[in-house]
Amino acid sequence: MNNLSEQKLISLDHTHIWHPYSAMGTEQPIYPVVSATGVRLTLADGRELIDGMSSWWCAIHGYNHPVMNRALHAQMENMAHVMFGGLTHPPAVELATQLVALTPEPLQTVFFADSGSVAVEVAMKMAIQYWHAKGQPNKQRFVSLRHGYHGDTFAAMSVCDPATGMHTLFSDVLTQQFFVDAPQCRFNEPCTDAHIASLAQTLKTKHQYIAALILEPIVQGAGGMRFYSADYLKKARALCDEYSVLLIFDEIATGFGRTGKLFAAEYADIAPDILCLGKALTGGYLSLAATLATKEIAETISTGEPGLFMHGPTFMANPLACAAGLASLQLLLDSPWQQNVQRIAHSLEEGLAPCRTLDTVADIRVLGAIGVVELHHPVEMKTLQPRFVEAGVWVRPFGKLIYLMPPFIINENDLATLTQAVATIVADL
């Protein structure tokens, strides 16, 4: 199959393969990648693209990193996989220990999952089991922010924005949750009583039914790339404590340095009761996620009926994935990642600034290694994607947003190429 021509690859792909949020039988532009190194993707036709997406935000160290490669090879020589039921292994124990050490102190227990969506499912099941064990089985519903996105599986879909999100088709079969206004206080702005009023009112009147509030701290990702005030998180934590509601942070997109902090919760200096991690956890090498919980939650679930937590994926704590997670974490912590993220932020601000004067642009915003150009109208992917490829960059817009989340290792010249491509193409819209 490696000897197939580019056109044959594309033809077979169109015939047999679903892609994320795609339709079969349509000739959407698709680009075969044959290798990737550093921040560059090499296409089958020989062209190289500078990756501005970190492969949906996970490849923070770039591609084909020698340290990551060595870690995977070494683990493969010992053990590629073993079931986690009744067994354990060093990569899982070491990675869990690292995650507990790096995250807020109350989070002491780790459940390894397959993907970000599953980590959210696990968090929601933990919250429901916790209250059931506490003798409050009526607390089975969740509160979520409008414009939120938490994944594509059924429980995760139920806490995604019901109106503007991607899952409205399933609204009649999803569990009906409570939704509150998205924070209107922008990053670094104070959060007033008016900003938090929708959440406060919902918790006040519905807390007896609510297991947890789930939100993406500081950055609402796929729901609009919106940045909001850390003060909102502080007030949300206080409200959850007041009304006996658990707080779940979904840091699948924001974790591991992307916002300028190791975890976005650090901007508010608070801890959730449950934390979901994924994406950059393995540096983009393998799918792995983790749900961390407080010891009190773990002990309550473990001593209630049925005396155990009801979840257990086949590939839970896969040794290869855990080895990748350990190597990625060490790479990150040994690097000057804060300076790199600050450098990227400065370059994104500077490079995207020309877009501010364009009539098609509604807003430009940058936080850490995230740069967003929000347009007044949705983009036409079928025509826009090829233009970015022609410019030598890989940028994947959605809705009204053209955004950049490059690997942390990207240099200034490549960053300039990325931002110039965005500025030029947006100017032509």
Choosing from 51, 114, 161, 250, the catalytic residue is 250
Cis link prior to 137 (omega < 30° from 0)?
no
What is the total residue count of the chain? 429
Q: Which token pair is 290?
A: 């983790």
Give the span between the Cα atoms of 188 and 194, in whole angstroms.
Answer: 17
- Residue 279: active-site member: yes
- Residue 295: active-site member: no
Apex CA 377: angle with CA 374 and CA 379, to 5°?
A: 80
Q: What is the dihedral of CA 142, 145, 147, 153, to 10 degrees?
A: -20
Indicate if the alpha-carbon torsion angle 316, 318, 323, 327 is positive or negative: negative
Choosing from 21, 193, 334, 359, the catalytic residue is 21
Give the span between the Cα atoms of 249 and 265, in whole angstroms.
Answer: 8
Q: Which token pair is 235?
A: 């007030």
Give the span between the Cα atoms of 358 and 351, in whole angstroms.
Answer: 14
Give the span between the Cα atoms of 122 and 274, in whole angstroms.
Answer: 10
Apex CA 165: angle with CA 164 and CA 167, to 5°?
A: 125
Sequence-distant (6+) residues with CB within 8 A of 381 are 28, 397, 398
Coarse DSSP helix, strand, coil percentages of the chain, rounded to the nearest 5 percent: 40, 20, 40
- Residue 114: active-site member: no
Choosing from 139, 235, 279, 400, the catalytic residue is 279
Choosing from 63, 149, 228, 267, the catalytic residue is 149
Give the span between the Cα atoms of 149 and 166, in whole angstroms.
Answer: 9
Give the span between the Cα atoms of 255 and 281, in whole angstroms.
Answer: 8
Q: Which token pair is 308?
A: 């155990």
Give the span between the Cα atoms of 99 and 158, in whole angstroms.
Answer: 28
- Residue 181: active-site member: no
Give the span between the Cα atoms of 322 and 54, in whole angstroms.
Answer: 20
Residues that are catalytic:
21, 149, 250, 279
